[in-house]
Amino acid sequence: MRPKLKVKTTRKKGRGVFANRKIKKGEIIEVAPVIVLSRREAKTLNDLPLSSHCYQWGNNREKTALVLGFGCLYNHSYDPNATYRHRFEKQEIVFRALKDIRCGEEITHNYNGDPKSQAPIKFTKNSWWFVQQGKHRK
């Protein structure tokens, strides 16, 4: 069976994740494990490229999680074709198709957590996670 995903280089965003076959609306794209870090541990990532692969974590966003798998390479879009949901107890993030995704199409999600959010995305220089302006989805 053909693998569902592949990584390719994009013109504007660096690397991204692309469908290697058709993915149907509602289908789970990936269940990505995470490594959960305390604020103190996460601050050590400030000046490393790894910091851009982190998500706010926990009911009160008191921790951060470094996502593994393809999860660290999905790019942002205000018109995403995927969404994600945190599973705190299982230490994983589930990425799911919002609509049918064609073979060869890049898979994107809204970094705000809410697929409809148009809030600006900010990466701060000494921040160990991106600032989410929208509502956090559990």
What would the pLDDT profile of 100-115 be if each residue is shown by its tens digit? 999 999 999 998 889 9
Report the amino acid identity of residue 44: T
Strand pairing report for 75-76 and 106-109: parallel
Residue 48, pLDDT score: 78
Find out if CATH 2.60.40.10 is the number for domain 5-109.
no
Q: For 41-58, what is the mean pLDDT?
A: 80
Residue 124, pLDDT score: 54
Give tens-digit pLDDT for 56-115. 899 888 888 999 999 999 999 999 999 999 999 999 999 999 999 999 999 999 988 899
Whether residue 127 is predicted with pLDDT greater than 50 in this model: the reply is no
CA torsion 65→2→16→63, rounded to 10°? 0
Give tens-digit pLDDT for 113-125. 899 999 888 665 4
Domain map (residue ranges) of the chain: 5-109
CA torsion 81→86→91→95, rounded to 10°? -10
Whether residue 6 is predicted with pLDDT greater than 70 in this model: the reply is yes
CB 65 within 8 A of CB 36: yes
Per the document, the length of the chain is 138
CA angle 17-105-84, nearest 5°? Answer: 55
Closest residue by Cα to residue 30 from 39, 43, 18 = 18
